[in-house]
Chain A
């Protein structure tokens, strides 16, 4: 269905954000990791905000999380999003312990609840880019 919609705007990666978006094109969700502190941080930054190390790597996320907060957006000036309203903008707490902003898709927007379990999926955006989004997790899954 989303093929019929104008594409989402492409993310404009910074140097340190590029691994996240590159992984998304392979349908992988990765998180920035400091090997010295063994600590995750999101959003990705030029260095670890704990120890200033700049030799950071990434680890793959389970892609599972819990909705921390959610809103149904009902109007938007950008045509790509105006074509998608109403849609859910949410903050998702990944099981690895970091929070991401994303959309919850694949369900009635008004049915999304704070505390709901969700799992990552991937949607195409402009210029061949891909953005991680979330959908309600299958019942019975962790």
Chain B
């Protein structure tokens, strides 16, 4: 191939900037690379949760961060001086610059690694491997990860976004509803290609509500629902009904990632990170060639390969569930059933904590609640609870291996973990 010749923007003069060798990369595998390392020597050793609530009662994000961080350190039997890493989530209300060091100071930490992680709804799972990688690199030893959504004075989600971004320029003039319409489009395509029915999607919401009813901290702990209830709830964006959509609320989640020796000294069975994978495929929906095939194919594939396990080995699925269709796509792309068979699969399997494929045993965000990015973190902490055997009324019997998936944007950002109960 001839060297490429470029012109500089704003001038008419062609300017050679050198040649770029042609690549043989394909869109499926853009960066051939060495196998991803397995992270065997880190574990989640502490968790904290401010359960979802519909009203903030005036609690700001910082209030919730402080409370849930303390809970996680108490749970892990660590003091602030023991924690030398801090990862924070962004908030829907828009956190200020240098928020991570501000929070570190507030909590009494003096970290050697401090950052804000933003992979949307995949932020929590993304934090787990980033923390593990930092630990393996010798950067730090105990990483506190905090995700919270409180009532803050400024509501950034309603503030003007960068207009040149795809959602501002290419979607806003058409009345896109963002995630609601985006996931509805995915559900529409899934129904067209595979015949997935409203009843099949509704089954996901019903089973997860059954789980929520066994979890006293869930938003909908006292309200069982039926398929008819889901299908009788108002259509928001066809084919998605109101009860197939998460309800925003307030809350916070924290967890601590540490190396094996720290984990072994802790009060709980360590929850070991056996494998992980991350894949970002797009942001604008027009950039995703196939709306029914997500990056979970890659992210879960890498996680399974690193862990040396298959879907048949998994005791618990903790699958990001902003919408019912998200769970169906996750079960397909993480290999629990063939592509297109997610609808019949959820209809034929019991997804409750007592079922043959326990899924989202805390209720999922659909019934537990979605407190901003802390909602995605609830899938991590629920896996920890179950792997510890601390699930109480909703405990999955002999739960040893969990698959956790985080999903951000409109099926755009995927990060999958395989977690295992460690210790004897």
- A residues engaging B (CB < 8 A)? 8-15, 17, 36, 42-43, 46, 51-55, 68-76, 78, 80-81, 84, 87, 89-91, 98-103, 110, 114-115, 125, 129, 131, 133
Number of interface residues of B (CB under 8 A): 38
Partner of A69, one of B6, B173, B186, B236: B186
State whether B237 touches A72 (Cβ < 8 A): yes
Residues of A with C-beta under 8 A to B106: none
Q: A1 CB to closest chain B CB, in angstroms?
A: 16
Closest 3 CB pairs of A and B: A12-B163, A14-B164, A71-B184
State whether B164 touches A101 (Cβ < 8 A): no
Partner of A51, one of B4, B168, B177, B239: B4
- B residues engaging A (CB < 8 A)? 4, 6-7, 9, 20, 163-164, 166, 168-177, 181, 184-189, 192, 234-240, 284-287, 291
6 A-B pairs whose Cβ atoms sit less than 8 Å apart in the complex: A8-B173, A11-B172, A13-B164, A68-B291, A89-B174, A101-B171
Question: A103–B181 Cα gap in the complex (Å)?
Answer: 12
Q: B2 CB to closest chain A CB, in angstroms?
A: 10
Question: Considering only CB atoms, which chain A residue lies closest to B238 in the complex?
Answer: A72
Residues of B with C-beta under 8 A to A70: 185, 188
State whether A102 touches B175 (Cβ < 8 A): no
Q: Which of B168, B171, B239, B286 has the most CB of A within 10 A?
A: B286
State whether B174 touches A101 (Cβ < 8 A): yes
Partner of A91, one of B4, B175, B185, B240: B185
Partner of B166, one of A9, A43, A46, A71: A43
State whether B285 touches A101 (Cβ < 8 A): yes
Q: Which of B163, B164, B169, B173 has the most CB of A within 10 A?
A: B173
Contact A89-B181, Cβ < 8 Å, known A43-B286, A69-B188, A101-B176: yes
State whether A73 touches B177 (Cβ < 8 A): yes
Q: A83 CB to closest chain B CB, in angstroms?
A: 10
Question: A115–B193 Cα gap in the complex (Å)?
Answer: 10
Q: B76 CB to closest chain A CB, in angstroms?
A: 42
